[in-house]
Structure 1
Amino acid sequence: MDEHVFGMGSVPVSVAAKVYGKDATWIRAGIISGWLPIGVATRDGKKITTIEEINSKYGRINFYISPKKLYEETGYIWEGKTQ
């Protein structure tokens, strides 16, 4: 089995959107709703799991996209820098 070395930290939402050929909003909605199993969305340390929680009046949502999970889903290897 090949050993892949992934970049440190989260894959930016914009990079994941390019990999999937979709809009960044699609990536965010998929992560929050759970049908895109590549990461997690949080606000103030609490996991966001419904579209209703997206409202910006509640504060900023942070997205963590796992380089390993993105690779497992798409075959894309995140090297830690934007393309």
Structure 2
Amino acid sequence: MSEVIFAEGSVPVAVAAKVYGKDANWVRTGIVCGWLPIGRATRNGAMVTKLEEMDSRYGRINFYISPKKLWEDTGYVWKGERKI
């Protein structure tokens, strides 16, 4: 069986949304609320884990989406593209 090679870095939210056939906000909400276990959301180094914390008045949220976790959940291998 061949080994899967993943690109380095975070899968863009827009790419993950296309893979799931959903809106980017669906992906962001799923990561924050924990029902989409493909990455994490942070603001100023602290995890964001509640929907109420997604308010933009608190500052920007950074999303990290793991290429391996996305592959495990969907079978999609991300090769570093910004759009699909």
TM-score higher than 0.5: yes
CA distance, structure 1, for counterparts of residue 4 and residue 80 of structure 2: 13
* Displacement after TM superposition at 1:58 (Å): 0.5
TM-score (norm 2): 0.96
TM-score (norm 1): 0.97
Alignment correspondent of 2:36: 36
CA distance, structure 1, for counterparts of residue 55 and residue 42 of structure 2: 13
CA distance, structure 2, for counterparts of residue 54 and residue 68 of structure 1: 25
* Displacement after TM superposition at 1:57 (Å): 0.6
Corresponding residue pairs, total: 83
* Displacement after TM superposition at 1:81 (Å): 1.2
Q: Give 2:81's aligned amino acid.
A: K
Runs of 4+ in 1 over 3 A off after TM superposition: none
* Displacement after TM superposition at 1:2 (Å): 2.9
Q: Give 2:74's aligned amino acid.
A: T
CA distance, structure 1, for counterparts of residue 80 and residue 21 of structure 2: 19
Q: Give 1:24's aligned amino acid.
A: A
Alignment correspondent of 2:71: 71
Gaps of 5+ in 1: none
CA distance, structure 2, for counterparts of residue 56 and residue 36 of structure 1: 21
* Displacement after TM superposition at 1:8 (Å): 1.1
SS at match of 2:63: strand
Alignment correspondent of 1:9: 9
SS at match of 1:63: strand
| RMSD (CA atoms) | 0.7
Alignment correspondent of 2:25: 25
